[in-house]
Structure 1
Amino acid sequence: MKIIATILCAAAILTGVTTVDRDLFKICEQSSFCRRCRKVEPNNSPFELVPGTLNTFDDSFTADLVNKNNGHIFVLNVEGVQGDIFRVIVDEKTPLKKRYRVTDALKGPAKPHSISVTDSKSEIIVTSGQNKAVIQASPFKIDFYRSEVLYVSANAKGLFKFEHYRTKPVSPPEGEENKEQEEPRDDVDNEPGAWEEDFNSFHDTKPNGPEAIALDFTFPQAEVLFGIPEHADSFALKSTLDGEPYRLHNMDVAYYELNNGMGLYGSVPVIYGHGTNGTAGVFWMNAAETWVDIYNEKNVPSLIVSEPDDEPLAAHFMSESGIVDAFILLGESPLNTFKQYTDLTGVAPLPQHAAFAFHQSRWNYNDEVDVLNVSANYDVHDIPLDTMWLDIEYTDHKKYFTWDPNTFPHPLEMIANLTELGRHLTIIIDPHIKVTDNYNVHKDLTERDYYTKNKDGEVFEGECWPGTSGWPDLFNPDVRKYLADQYLLENFNTTTQDVFIWNDMNEPSVFSGPELTMPKDNLHNTEMGTYEHRVVHNLYGHMQLMSTFDGLVRRGEGKLRPFILTRSHFSGSQRYAAIWTGDNTAEWGHLQASLKMCLSEAVSGFSFCGADVGGFLRDPTSDELVERWHQTGAFLPFFRAHSHMETKRREPWLYPEATKLVIRDAIRKRYTYLPLWYVLFYEHERYGYPVMRPLLGHYPNDPEAFAIDNEFLLGDRLLVHPVTQLGATKVDVYFPRNSITGEGDFWYDADDFTLFNSVGYVTVPVNSYKIPVYQRGGAIVPKKEVIRRASTLMKNDPYTLIVCLDRFNEANGTVYDDDQRSYEYRNGKYVYSQIEFKSNVLSSKLIDPTATFETLAWIERVVIAGLDKVPQSATLSTSSKRITLDVVEHQRAYTIRNLAVNIAEEWEITLNY
């Protein structure tokens, strides 16, 4: 049977298959809309503005747009958006039915910005602040300028395509002439796959026929393009003209391949172009299957870092359905442009502090005893741990919101045992629902008519982990509320407020479906009407996150911050959940890919990103790989070890003692930096900048840094170059050029304060314990060096401030703290301090003096590196005391101890010479 065969393919990880089955997934040539969009003749656009149709408003204008090939009329809408952003919308003027518009990706309505419009016969000029858009009438094109510099052009290549809704052509009875159609036709009607399409044994009915849209964007100032995750590929996007476009189509891909643009679990349709003259971006807000061609006129197949005389780099977005809805981001600098995107789609809200600590997971821990034994062994081996995770086997026969009565008969006791140790439990909740009469969730969804429907309007059933399953219609707000209610303690009373949630398989993964996901002609009841799955596919997981987040907020009575991990994601999902790179493999290449993938996600809004430490699939090829993966994970935002049920157990103490100690050292190092992670994520929520950053984020005028993706920055404070090569005894670390000084910044080895102050690659020796991490001169980093079994027990422990001076003997940084669990920080219950070193004085000033937070945590120690002369002593001054402290020299730095000042105090330390 087809279903059984497909299930076996989908569950290849259980049948010994160790490579992705590419036959299960389409290439562009097998997708009719991608074929059609890709073969549009360039530089011959049939679209032009219709004279006399301009309508102007305070913040936008509209004009009619005609396709000269068939006479169909569209409406162009150009809006000014606050923050140096333009929005371009194109839709049919009189469609046969309303086309779907994405709304849930944005954190709220885009804030309008006033514009002025100048109209002539050949062009329309729209001015918004220091930016302008010049719309050429024929052929249709829009050029976007910032301060009179051209940053983005839309339809400069003439690849714009918009397939209007139409009725299906009917062949006349034999012997009769074909009557003239009531609407203009074009050759799209005759394209194979335009009106129905087969792939493998699946048939897509396509009731609306061809409905694709496409538009090219050129970046004249760019030397590198990046973004559009999720792909297991380089950070800098490659030319696709001789191969496959990058695909944005959320799918469950086991054993995914490296170094290609195949679609994976998430789709974030934002792209950036950066060069030494500035940065710009395009957010293509469309949730349908999308392919993106990357253009380089010289067709260089390697990483795109263009020469100055090259043709401009460009991206060609091709979506199966929806409308054109694009935001043009004219931020000028990389960080400003990243912020423009998060201003639209939101940031990751500050999670509970424990979420930044170490997580231990496996598919699956056997029972309650197993869970508690693993937790206990972390204590035996003096390795900190904050969260234990349970995969699908904890449930009663894959029925979510239940527990297996045999293996997990006392979940509340198990949770309490973890909580008493300062730890948490995370459990998985997938969107598929087991079809069985003895499951209350299934019965409720059936009785309330809450399931997704097939093309015929009947409940859609497919195969997933429980066997025959249904999928809640998460686009219906009533369905989302029902599922959110299931998290409330009166319904899920075998959990507590301390339990975190993991949403997986939410692409959605359907083992019996085309490309292992939901048929495109399924039907959803949205707030805008009934739409096919094809137009909303990439949003399905996002809608589950909205539901889960709502449920957890209400479970905590609006007081506790939820923590959710998701696999599927779309633009804006960062507002609800952290992400990870999915079912990776225990190989060196996948370790290397984790950096590239999380960098691409970070600039696309997803700062809270990680990868399964050790690799999910297969057994690690060596103990060294496990060591290096823990070291790398310790400096990625989300730090979780996870593995497949058919792999060997991987808890640290199961390895040789030498490996266990390296793992232990890496995890403990993570815990020392928790104050840094906490302040960086608070500042991410407050200011919108990514936490993990590519080098070009702070070194935008150093072309050598543009494509580097084997090292990264944490904020502007640390540079991290993990060891990701087998047998490495040295690594080549690149230290970038400062845009202002033209020199290299000072960089201090985080272990021994060795100073590096040149530009370029430096070969650094490494041993098994070494993680090449460098603190920027001019940065101050808060740490906690008392390590306990869990981060929750470190709350009131003392801080150490690491002060690394720049060329001018100055430095600054920040410290942040709150109750680490609740939303009270949004009510002013926090401490946020600016720490500055200048003129031989280190001082702490409250950034928000009106904020108040009582804490027992204090500054115990200060370490200063880079002083050009030896201080004899230091004087500490606060509002209540003035004392003299000793200064001790150690490892190229000077240490001042016993400060004993509360982190909520203002104070000064003066160095005495």
Structure 2
Amino acid sequence: MESAQGRITPSKRRTIVRSVLALGLALACVSAVKREDFKTCSQSGFCTRNRAYADIAKENPQWASPFQLNPSSLRLSNGVLTGDLINVQEDKQPSDKPALAFELHLLDTDAARVRINERNPIQPRYDGVQDTVLIKPYGHATEGSYQKLSKDENGVLTIQYGAQNQNTVRISSAPFKVEFLVNGVPTVLLNDEGLLRFERLRNKEEPKVEEEGEKQEEETSSDPLVEQNAGGNDIEIAIEKSELEKKLEENLWEERFKEFTDSKPRGPESFGMDITFSGINHVYGIPEHASSLSLKATRGPDAPYTEPYRLYNLDVFEYEGDNPMALYGSVPFMLGHSKNSTAAVFWMNAAETWIDVEKSPEDKNGGILSWIKSKKAVHPAATKTHWISEAGVLDLFVFLGPTHRDIFRQYASLVGTTALPQAFSIAYHQCRWNYNNQKDVAEVDAGFDEHDIPYDVLWLDIEHTNGKRYFTWDEAKFPNPTEMQESLSSKGRKMVTIIDPHIKKDGDYYVSKEGADLDVYIKNKDASSDFDGWCWPGSSQWIDFYNPKARDWWASQFSYDKYIGSTRSLFTWNDMNEPSVFSGPEITIPKDVIHYGNVEHRNVHNLYGTMFHSATAQGLTHRNETNQRPFVLSRAFFAGTQRFGAIWTGDNVASWEHLELASPMLLTIGLSGIPFSGADVGGFFGNPDAELLTRWYQAGIYYPFFRAHAHLDSKRREPWLFGEPYTTQIREAIRTRYTLLPFWYTLFQEASVEGTPIIRPMFTEFPEDEAVFGMDDQYMVGDAILVKPVVKSAVVRSNVYFAGKEKWFDIKDYSVEQGPGFKDIDSPADKIPVYQRAGTIVPKRERPRRSSKAMENDPFTLVIALDSKGEASGRLYLDDGESFNYEKGDYILREFKVSKGVLSSRKVESAVPASSGESSFAEKAGGLRIERIVILGATTPLTNVTVGDRTVQVNCAQVGGSYVCTVKEPQVAVGKDFDLSFA
């Protein structure tokens, strides 16, 4: 076979086979990630060059950016400012044409976009990320919504914009700098530190054959620089380049890592720029990293990390905690928050990217003396970040809020919201690598029924296939897959099978042959042959999803007449789509392989998994004439992935550390626009003991995607296998998830419309409480439920922070805690601290069933937690849980409110007209009843509850300093208006 490194000899083939087998063994046995398989910044040429540039700037007190805007070139029209950007160190001659084009776009969402690109490059720089990531053309601000305020003698242009004219952008010409201000306060600053650097595409210079005299001259004058003396005469002096200056020229045209060579045929084309969050000490986002929610510093005194955060999708099994290493997904979105401001940026680039973070505390010690000495104003606290990408164009969006919800909405308007999933997919999933055969599947399924534990989906990993040939079945192990799926479906359950992007190279395998005939595989660097690498099937090829023909062909593979043995209750798991290549550099595909349109892989690496995810979702949607929503899980992700399905945090470990890591990782991913995410419950590698597994289930029921998964060589750990009391404790946890499914589904609908995270860091709900800004060991589910996982062994008391000035109610026993402040809370083996926030209403279904499908006609319970004013509110969303009919308005969305002793239910009006006819979901389900209303926080017992002229039964009991009152059978329907009065 051919590889990016040339023809593989039989000897090298044997070496690769041994390496692949060794990797399989390592997957089962290694106790920590093999760091040497993955680059550090010092092993990445463009990261080294740009970081050295930052060091040079920092070491030079007089440093100023060499970039300048030509003031006379600036033009503002229809919300777009354009101009010429000049590097005065490179564009030295007046006749030189400006090399770079600067654009500032003011958007109708109050966001802004900044672009910098070469005007006339020797070959086009890749600029196609926007075509995949952005959902539709955005609108620019209208002429009347912004105002050109001034352009002073120094070329500083100021523009005021935003719906309330609250935002200002100030562009300085020399040196070039862009400042975004909110209500006159600087918030996001671009190139404030002068780290903008842009490697223009160039022709490679061949080494010069030197004459003897030239060689002698070089020896006497090593690197001549011209400097002026006091008298104005030019003096040529020889200055040896510093070590930092030498780094600026490293690995420009070729780069080696271990035994791999990156040919870099286009040469250096990286760029970097600093972005400062002024007045902000906490920044969040840029997943995926096994690190804290509030990002730690990588530069500056006492920085916890020395490496930048890396965004480069990689297969890093058993990843380490507290580490900025790259993992499976990349979203270059960062949000900054302080008590006074919230802002975010989206660096829209899919090439390898590194990000340094430096914290600058407020200068409180120098005071007036410091100002007298420096003649500079006292600086507020700030977080300085340095973004470095290998290729493409500089394309940056800035969001100024002013609230978190505003930012989520602005960001989602560009990259899309999460797809509303099928209802089953937010319930419990049972998976391992691998369930052995059809008999094993039946026994596991029966085990859930025998132990009265609900679940919705059973998963099959790679061993279910015929020799790792996707879309096939091992006929000896799974002789009748249709019958197997129909058996599960009869109980309302589904099945998921794994399908990866590597295709076994086999002329007798129909998928392999069709792909070759259609010419839809990624090409080697010379584009003359298909790239061939190693993955689970052995010699494999990778689908080029940048080829429109490939995407449509791949989608067609999911039709029932091609994927034999599939049914409408079978869904898909996209794994290994970073892409993972066992024989490649950093266990991924070489950067210099070629995609459709002669695009180098280095430009689109972080988008590959999303393209695969998208094509698979397209296939599952188009296979049906019944309008069924897809469900696809992906391991790799990028901005926009949320439009196609769920993701998870990859190959974690059965350890307390990884249980603890799951919360900040999922919170970070959700903040960055991908709310449907989870972590493998129990840990993928290794064998959890009963305590760890139980605690993980208790935490996992509050992950948006709730799946247990285990490695091939791990011991079986279905929820009942550890015996009592653990079976009961796990059953109770899973049942809790099922009772809350109406609440979860409502949150998913909100996320699909507004772009809000489903699980939320505390600071998004309590933005002025500085105690929660760095908190990631507890979080909110929506705005109503507080969760504090137990992540250490033998813990029976948990220190919980109750934010705000209202009460919090334990969701099990309704005991009350008063905020604000920390309090030690009992967390015995059968529960973790979970509290409902005063002022909220949570819809539930409380009848245990074997699956979520079996619950769809069950009645509802409303749990009302009254605040200090006696008020509360909440919503309930329902649709058929399966089709796209909700897009036609066929759904129920009710708003419940308590005010002045009256609980009201009103329809939230839809912008889409509802479908007509008695068969519509809204008409059929609207009559489902509310069987119970639980009122928490009543100051006195309720004695008189009425609906219209009817009196309704109510029972009250005192819990702590307030009352819990239960209204049974109020005889009201979930889809109808009503008013329930209580006194």
Tell me, yes or no, whether TM beats 0.5. yes
| Separation in 2, partners of 1:906, 1:631 | 36
| Separation in 2, partners of 1:823, 1:562 | 10
Residue 873 of structure 1: how far off its partner (Å)? 2.8
| Separation in 1, partners of 2:407, 2:541 | 41
640-649 vs 838-847, which moves further: 838-847
Residue 142 of structure 1: how far off its partner (Å)? 0.2
Residue 197 of structure 1: how far off its partner (Å)? 0.3
| Separation in 1, partners of 2:25, 2:774 | 35
Which amino acid is 2:259 matched to? Answer: S
| Separation in 2, partners of 1:639, 1:425 | 15
Q: Does 1:217 align with 2:282?
A: no
TM-score normalised over the length of structure 1: 0.95
Match of 2:121 in 1: 95
Q: Does 1:657 align with 2:683?
A: no
The answer as to whether partners of 2:412 and 2:754 remain within 8 angstroms in 1 is no
Match of 1:425 in 2: 495
SS where residue 598 of structure 2 aligns? strand
| Separation in 2, partners of 1:14, 1:166 | 43
Match of 1:641 in 2: 708
Match of 2:231 in 1: none
Aligned positions of 1:56-95 closer than 5 A: 56-71=76-91, 73-95=99-121
Match of 1:233 in 2: 291
Match of 2:560 in 1: 489
Q: Does 1:872 align with 2:943?
A: yes
Match of 1:22 in 2: 35
SS where residue 444 of structure 2 aligns? helix
| Separation in 2, partners of 1:790, 1:224 | 42
Report sequence identity in percent. Answer: 42
Aligned positions of 1:343-362 closer than 5 A: 343-362=413-432
Match of 1:507 in 2: 578
Match of 2:160 in 1: 127
Residue 334 of structure 1: how far off its partner (Å)? 2.2
Residue 339 of structure 1: how far off its partner (Å)? 2.4
SS where residue 814 of structure 1 aligns? strand
| Separation in 1, partners of 2:85, 2:759 | 42
| Separation in 1, partners of 2:583, 2:824 | 51
Q: Does 1:841 align with 2:841?
A: no
Q: Does 1:268 align with 2:331?
A: yes
Which amino acid is 1:438 matched to? Answer: D
Which amino acid is 1:471 matched to? Answer: W
841-850 vs 265-274, which moves further: 841-850
Match of 2:3 in 1: none
The answer as to whether partners of 1:107 and 1:346 remain within 8 angstroms in 2 is yes
Residue 498 of structure 1: how far off its partner (Å)? 1.6
Match of 1:286 in 2: 349
Q: Does 1:672 align with 2:739?
A: yes
Residue 5 of structure 1: how far off its partner (Å)? 5.5
The answer as to whether partners of 2:438 and 2:477 remain within 8 angstroms in 1 is yes
Match of 2:531 in 1: 460
Match of 1:729 in 2: 796
Q: Considering only aligned residues, what root-mean-square deviation do their CA atoms show, in Å? A: 1.8
| Separation in 2, partners of 1:821, 1:853 | 16
CA offsets, 1:420-469, max 9 Å, x none? Answer: 01100011110000001111111111111111011121210000000000
Match of 2:762 in 1: 695
Q: Does 1:885 align with 2:913?
A: no
In structure 2, relative to structure 1, the CA distance for the partners of 1:8 and 1:22 (3 Å cut) is: farther
| Separation in 2, partners of 1:629, 1:212 | 42
The answer as to whether partners of 1:188 and 1:194 remain within 8 angstroms in 2 is no
The answer as to whether partners of 1:224 and 1:273 remain within 8 angstroms in 2 is yes
CA offsets, 1:837-895, max 9 Å, x none? Answer: 11111111111276444215221000001111222131113xxxx42111101454000
Which amino acid is 1:139 matched to? Answer: P
**Structure 1, unpaired ranges of 5+:** 179-185, 301-307, 738-743
Match of 1:38 in 2: 51
Residue 258 of structure 1: how far off its partner (Å)? 0.3
**Structure 2, unpaired ranges of 5+:** 1-11, 58-62, 92-97, 216-240, 364-377, 915-921
| Separation in 2, partners of 1:214, 1:530 | 25
Residue 599 of structure 1: how far off its partner (Å)? 0.2
Aligned positions of 1:762-777 closer than 5 A: 762-777=823-838
Residue 61 of structure 1: how far off its partner (Å)? 1.4
Q: Does 1:516 align with 2:582?
A: no
SS where residue 325 of structure 1 aligns? strand
Which amino acid is 1:327 matched to? Answer: F
- 141, 166, 184: which one pairs with 1:113? 141
Which amino acid is 1:108 matched to? Answer: K
The answer as to whether partners of 1:350 and 1:681 remain within 8 angstroms in 2 is yes
| Separation in 1, partners of 2:246, 2:533 | 33
The answer as to whether partners of 1:718 and 1:774 remain within 8 angstroms in 2 is yes
Q: Does 1:792 align with 2:823?
A: no
The answer as to whether partners of 2:281 and 2:361 remain within 8 angstroms in 1 is no
Match of 1:303 in 2: none
Match of 2:174 in 1: 138
Match of 1:803 in 2: 864
Q: Does 1:895 align with 2:966?
A: yes
Residue 148 of structure 1: how far off its partner (Å)? 1.7
| Separation in 1, partners of 2:386, 2:21 | 36
Residue 199 of structure 1: how far off its partner (Å)? 0.1
Q: Does 1:147 align with 2:169?
A: no
The answer as to whether partners of 1:221 and 1:279 remain within 8 angstroms in 2 is no
Match of 1:305 in 2: none
The answer as to whether partners of 2:45 and 2:252 remain within 8 angstroms in 1 is yes
- 307, 312, 315: which one pairs with 1:249? 312
- 326, 334, 342: which one pairs with 2:396? 326
| Separation in 2, partners of 1:709, 1:190 | 39
Q: Does 1:630 align with 2:691?
A: no
How many equivalent pairs are there? 884
Residue 533 of structure 1: how far off its partner (Å)? 0.4
Q: Does 1:778 align with 2:839?
A: yes
Residue 6 of structure 1: how far off its partner (Å)? 4.3
Residue 736 of structure 1: how far off its partner (Å)? 1.6
In structure 2, relative to structure 1, the CA distance for the partners of 1:430 and 1:841 (3 Å cut) is: same
Larger radius of gyration: 2
Match of 1:534 in 2: 602
Match of 1:447 in 2: 517
SS where residue 697 of structure 2 aligns? helix
Q: Does 1:372 align with 2:442?
A: yes
Match of 2:662 in 1: 594
- 697, 705, 708: which one pairs with 2:775? 708
SS where residue 452 of structure 1 aligns? coil
Q: Does 1:407 align with 2:477?
A: yes
The answer as to whether partners of 2:52 and 2:248 remain within 8 angstroms in 1 is no
Residue 16 of structure 1: how far off its partner (Å)? 2.1
| Separation in 2, partners of 1:411, 1:830 | 34
Residue 619 of structure 1: how far off its partner (Å)? 0.7
Which amino acid is 2:351 matched to? Answer: A
Residue 79 of structure 1: how far off its partner (Å)? 0.2
Match of 2:263 in 1: 205
| Separation in 1, partners of 2:27, 2:797 | 38
Which amino acid is 1:497 matched to? Answer: R
| Separation in 1, partners of 2:765, 2:834 | 17
Match of 1:472 in 2: 543
SS where residue 11 of structure 1 aligns? helix
Which amino acid is 1:780 matched to? Answer: I
| Separation in 1, partners of 2:934, 2:538 | 59
The answer as to whether partners of 2:897 and 2:905 remain within 8 angstroms in 1 is yes
The answer as to whether partners of 1:334 and 1:696 remain within 8 angstroms in 2 is no
